[in-house]
Structure 1
Amino acid sequence: MCATKTIALISGANSGIGLAAASGLARNHGYHVIIGSRNADAGKKVAASLVADGYSASSVQLDISSDESITAATGWIEHEFGVLDVLINNAGIMLDTRRNGRSTRELFTESFSTNTTGAACLTEACLPLLRKSESPRVLFVSSRMGSVSETTNKSTMYYSLDYRAYDCSKAALNMLALNYARILEDVGAMVNVVCPGLVKTKLTDNHPYGTSPELGAQRVIELATASKGGPTATFTDKDGVIPW
């Protein structure tokens, strides 16, 4: 059933923006979506719901802070599908407002482990599968708060807020994405960075000014469904280009 479908893996896809992206790709674009979820049962529940509605989905336990989990997940994808067309690095954390006694070193280490290092390890593990695709696409869900240029813009709503670890981890993620745009250039891959904006999710404590996960996933879905030869090495949100 999946042989003629586009295969997409989304990390952190059991809730929030990841769930909205997975649902949109399955329901509106006919993709087979793989729900990557640290909690295996939560991922299975999402996949089962999509399948029950007549769409194509499966799930895999995926903790991007664990090399063993990444190896097992990518090995399963290799066995089941033999290829990966779309990778959406969505899983992320924001700990600056939830320090809970963490030292500065602990705060930065944990933030980078998930937001940057985890995405790097997952993407690296997926490279052989992506290289088998006729039109590989890799998305990194980042944030405008990781823009070095925007950090000096005093008119932004978050200029005076202290999210140092999160900001730095997302700035590093942006650089990581550009490196993979270079690494996968030989196969014509489209590797892009997307800012979903302020969205009502667990990560933002369901911020009252946040938009819906569906709106946050809009640009992610647009780039995940881009035609071969589409944009690469870009940093955008639904409204346009974001300065690096």
Structure 2
Amino acid sequence: MPVALITGANGGLGRAIAESLATEHGYHVVIGSRNAAEGEAVAVLLQQRGFSASNIQIDLLSDESIREAVKSVEAAHGELHVLVNNAGVHLEITETDLSTRQLLNQTFQVNTFGTTVLTEACLPLLLRADTPRIVFVSSRNGSISQSLDKDWPMYGVQHPAYKASKAALNMLAVRYVEKLEAVGGMVNMMVGFHPDARSPEVAAKKVVEMATLGKGGPTGTFIDANGPIPW
């Protein structure tokens, strides 16, 4: 049975992705979440419905937590077929008294640094699998071309920490395109999942599609539900 690890899977988009992979595609889903109790609750509900699921606690701010989580996946499964990097923060959508440096640091620590540390730690397990896939849940806000487009509805919205963290993540994702292509793996960056725009269940469909690609599928793409968008 193929194994998928989804971060931030205790609710919202991450949970919808995990439920779809388990119930519609026959994956064992590993519910990754910072809140272990919430992650366990999602895994138990799937198990009670007859699907294969487990949970692990992952704090993207802690290298030790990431190491222990990956060790747990290795001990239980030996390999990893799919990694969905869904967890992230957007501190600028709420009022905050953080300084500019604090805002940048806290945003990058989760969205960019923690996600990359986890992906790097999972790489050996992914390389053991047949046709490994990584999906980075990124953002249209990480597109420089889009951010300079005066016709874009979000043009001029001042969320510099979030935008920069996602732009950096997109570039770091390229490393894994190169790492996985030698074994026929695929890495894609997905955007367009703002909760006001579509439900988690609808938004999850394209992520799941990219997480279940067969051999020879697209890789290195920056896309939304309608196809590629400019970087």
The 5 A counterparts of 1:210-225 are 210-225=197-212
Q: TM-score, normalised by structure 2?
A: 0.98
Deviates more, 1:40-49 or 1:188-197: 188-197
The AA in structure 1 aligned to 2:137 is V
Alpha carbons of structure 1 residues 51 and 196: separation in structure 2 relative to 1, 3 Å: farther
Residue by residue over 1:119-160, the C-alpha shift from the partner in whole angstroms, topping out at 9 and shown as x without a partner, is 100000001100100110001000111011101111212112
Superposition pairs of residues 177-188 of structure 1, within 5 angstroms: 177-188=173-184
Cα distance between partner residues in 1 of 2:143 and 2:117: 22
Residue of 30, 43, 68 corresponding to 2:64: 68
Q: Extract unaligned runs of 5+ from structure 1.
A: 200-208
RMSD (Å) for aligned C-alpha atoms: 1.0
What does residue 227 of structure 2 align with? 240
Partner of residue 125, structure 1:
121
CA distance in 1, matches of 2:11, 2:74: 25
CA distance in 2, matches of 1:97, 1:8: 30
Structure 1 letter corresponding to 2:224: D
TM-score (norm 1): 0.92
Separation in structure 1 between the aligned mates of residue 75 and residue 192 of structure 2, nearest angstrom: 32
- How far apart are the structure 1 equivalents of 2:214 and 2:131? 8
Matches of residues 164-179 of structure 1 in structure 2 within 5 Å? 164-179=160-175
Provide runs of 4+ in structure 1 moved above 3 Å: none
Aligned equivalent of 1:162, options 150, 158, 179: 158
Q: Specify the alignment match of 1:24 in structure 2.
A: 20
Distance 1:198 1:38 in 2: 21
Q: How many residues are treated as equivalent by the alignment?
A: 231
The yes-or-no answer on 1:88 pairing with 2:76 is no
1 or 2, which has the higher helix percentage?
Answer: 2
Q: Is residue 2:204 matched to residue 1:230?
A: no
1:195 counterpart = 2:191: yes
Give the deviation of 1:215 after TM superposition: 1.3
- Distance, in Å, in 2 between the alignment partners of 1:163 and 1:152 is 14
Deviation at 1:99, TM superposition (A): 4.9
Rounded Cα–Cα distance in structure 2 between residues aligned with 1:15 and 1:174: 24
Pairing 1:148–2:144 present: yes
Verify the 8 A CA contact 1:99 1:107 in the aligned structure 2: no
Inter-partner Cα distance in structure 2 for 1:67 and 1:159: 35
Partner residue, 1:11: 7
Cα distance between partner residues in 1 of 2:149 and 2:205 = 25
Gaps of 5+ in 2: none
Q: Distance in 2 between matches of 1:217 and 1:195?
A: 11
Aligned to 1:216, the other structure's residue is in SS state: helix
The residue type paired with residue 198 of structure 2 is T
Q: Which residue of 1 aligns with 2:94?
A: 98
Quote the Cα distance in structure 2 between the aligned partners of 1:98 and 1:198: 15
Q: Deviations over 1:63-105 (max 9, x none)?
A: 1111011001000111000000000000000011335210000
**For residues 137 and 115 of structure 2, what CA distance do their matches in structure 1 show?**
10
Q: Report if the CA contact (8 A) 1:12-1:37 is conserved.
A: yes
Check conservation: 1:144, 1:197, Cα contact below 8 A: no
Q: Distance in 1 between matches of 2:63 and 2:36?
A: 16
